[in-house]
Structure 1
């Protein structure tokens, strides 16, 4: 079994996704006219100005914080350190490039998730890639494959990985047994996830901004103390990315290593194109009431995750002098050593606490995606949800105490298949994304608050839920 999984991971992560995700990001960036640059202020406007919600959905801000809960995990701390160790400072430049193009991909997939969302049996919004595959492409089998892969990777195994990171950091900093850490994390997780997506959204809305702001404030303190060295560090990142600095060569493997590790870690961190964040994007009530507005909310999530939080970690490590390119000290340990050099012994404890918050919110964010997958598979009834929640708690405890590489490699293969199917779907539906985008900004240019009018999209009749998207009267609701 292990050789098959290794082969699949080599195909997915060595070829298909590394190049595919980048290519799709470039494709949408060009096709949408550099949306993420030209209309960047609008990304903030649709979050800051949004307050609208209804009984069926959550607010755009809550959707952003839940997606950030999943995106901002141990990859922002340990993953950045690994990228620097293996690829040198230049890896950070390529991480930025992935995020820049990934914002267009994130916009496209979340816009589609909004458009093709449905109401579940309780009248709540649910949706995501599985739904736009089944409704937009008339390919329910793709949605089924995607949903199963999502549950296996994000719902279960990645939550074990996050729990393992919490347990490692807590044991190293405070000497607490990994088993008790796992039980404690599982207990807190249970309190949140048994309340459903709304409970997760309420917790994320408070915890995610808090943890992100505190982490960025520490980074700003480090930058302020070393302000004269910052220009040199930024120059080093750019020069190393193109082989113009010795740090990018030698042990690190040159430009190729910088690019490979920066791209890979960037993709792992911001998840643009993976098809994960659209699952919570679909649950929101968009404000303005147009699918494109929620696409922009999630594009902003990529910016915050990579261009702010990952960059903060990289700058702190590079300013500390703790980095040895190609060295044995990497991951969480390197990040802890770096911060300890800046603020003393408190750095180890701070990173342990940061990892707890980052990883814990990833666990509840990942679980929220599973509820959408269960809805698509028609398993989101009470027994199905209870089984899923108990399985998540079991994986948290197990993950805190054991680390079986083959299982984690299986999760990578599962996510690779999931992302590949998603990329194919959004490319096939790219014409709809372009039409929605032009419609949104045409209304903005006319001084109107954009509203989706399904009368202007006759090609979508029978594919979208007319009880959700209606202006002059409901369209025919698709048969279930």
Structure 2
């Protein structure tokens, strides 16, 4: 079993997914004319009115915070450390690259999620890859496959992975038994998730900005202590990415391949661009401006914040500390050691607390994504309640278990999710391009963009009635 999973992971992550992910990212980037550069400032402008929502959906800001809750997790603290120890400093460059092109991928998938969203049995907006596969491609079977993979990866396994990271960090910093941490995390999670999706979004709206800004503030202190060394660190990262630091030709080839694989894998796990997870949050928003592309810009910003800001902060803390990344220490323990060496012993506890918030909000968002896809499979309140109980069991299991095989299964499910989603958004990308063009044509003449479905007669036939018609009135 373990050998088969390892072989499949090597095949998918080592070749298939790398080519598909990078190829799709560059294709979207060129077709959207480098939207992540041209409209960089507009990503922030959209946030001005992003706290407005309505009774059918959460606000754009809540959708952003929910997606950031999933993105900003162990990948930003432990994952960066793993990438550095396994792939060397060059892995950070590939994380940057996958985030840069992933911004356009995130724009496309989040815009499509908004276009093809629907309403659930309670009148709330729902959507995501499963829905644009069903309505856009007329392939419900593909949506079912994606939903099952997402529920397995995010709804179950990643909840265990996140709680495992919490219990490990708390045990290391405060000597609290893992089982005790597990019970506490389960109890707090239950209080939030049994309140429903809007409660999860409301909690994320408060906690995510607080935790991200607090962590960045400490990272800036460390960077400030070594400001003169920062250019050399960035140069070191770029040189390592292209094998300049290695001695022989064989070492160069292996070093580049290892850095690329680790950087792309950890980058995708962290920012989730193209994986099909964030569109589940994007679809639940009642966006301002009332146009699908506005949520595309908001979610594009999420990729930037996650990888190009927060992951870079972690990499800077580790590399500026001078800690030997080849000393056998890895994961969050390496990040704790690096920070403690700079700010004193309280850094160990700070990372444990930061990881608790990062991982806990990821657990909340994982429940959010999974419930949307459970609803896609069967629109039923009891099905949601059954899932919540199973998810909480996985949180407890993760806090006390050894997770290597579970983590490998999660990597496999994540790779398959991404492949299914990337195929779907490539097939539907022309719709996203047309919607983006309509949005920016309205902006160019000074209008507040709105989505008038009458401009898209071929598309209108595929949309769920009653979701977008009001925007064209």
| CA displacement at 1:260 relative to structure 2 | 2.0
Q: How does 1:78-477 map to 2 (within 5 A)?
A: 78-246=78-246, 253-325=254-326, 327-378=327-378, 380-471=379-470
Between the aligned partners of 1:369 and 1:306, the Cα distance in structure 2 is 21
CA distance in 1, matches of 2:154, 2:346: 32
Query: Do the aligned residues in 1 keep the contact of 2:290 with 2:471 (CA within 8 Å)?
Result: no
Q: Distance in 1 between matches of 2:314 and 2:43?
A: 24
Q: Deviations over 1:393-412 (max 9, x none)?
A: 11111110112432332222
Structure 2 regions of 5+ residues with no counterpart? none
Specify every segment of 5 or more residues in structure 1 that has no aligned partner in the other structure, as ranges: 475-480
- Relative to the length of structure 2, the TM-score reads 0.97
In terms of mean alpha carbon deviation, does 358-367 or 80-89 score higher?
80-89
Tell me how far apart the structure 2 counterparts of residues 93 and 248 of structure 1 sit (CA, whole Å): 21
Contact 2:450 2:472 in 1 (8 A): no
1: CA distance between counterparts of 2:252 and 2:419? 32
Deviation at 1:252, TM superposition (A): 10
1:323–1:334 CA contact under 8 A, matched in 2: no
What do residues 291-329 of structure 1 show as CA deviations (whole Å, max 9, x unaligned)? Answer: 00001111100000000000000001111000334x311
CA distance change for structure 1 residues 190 and 8 in 2, over 3 Å: closer, same or farther? same
Q: Distance in 1 between matches of 2:248 and 2:265?
A: 17
Q: Deviations over 1:180-218 (max 9, x none)?
A: 100000000000000011110111001000000000000
In 1, the alpha carbon distance for the partners of 2:171 and 2:391 equals 22
> Higher mean Cα deviation, 80-89 or 131-140?
80-89
In the TM superposition, 1:4-15 aligns within 5 A as 4-15=4-15
In the superposition, relative to structure 1, how do residues 42 and 123 fare at CA in structure 2: closer, same or farther (>3 Å)?
same
1:49 maps to 2:46? no
Deviation larger for 275-284 or 17-26: 17-26
Contact 1:88–1:252 (8 Å) recurs in 2: no
Change over 3 Å in CA distance of 1:410–1:240 after alignment to 2: closer
C-alpha deviation, 1:238, in angstroms:
1.8
Structure 1 residue 6: Cα displacement:
2.7
Change (3 A) 1:14 1:56: same
CA distance in 2: counterparts of 1:243 and 1:415, whole angstroms: 28
Write the distance in 2 (CA, Å) between the matches of 1:112 and 1:26: 18
RMSD across aligned C-alpha pairs, in angstroms? 1.7
* Alpha-carbon distance in 1 for matches of 2:139, 2:124: 23
Change (3 A) 1:361 1:251: farther
Report the Cα distance in structure 2 between the residues aligned to 1:241 and 1:417, rounded to whole angstroms: 26
Give the secondary-structure state (helix, strand or coil) at the position aligned to 1:185: helix
Contact 1:317–1:323, Cα closer than 8 Å, also in 2: no
Q: Distance in 2 between matches of 1:246 and 1:422?
A: 36
Relative distance call for 1:16 and 1:220 in structure 2 (3 A) is same
Query: Within 5 A, what are the aligned runs for 1:56-67?
Result: 56-67=56-67
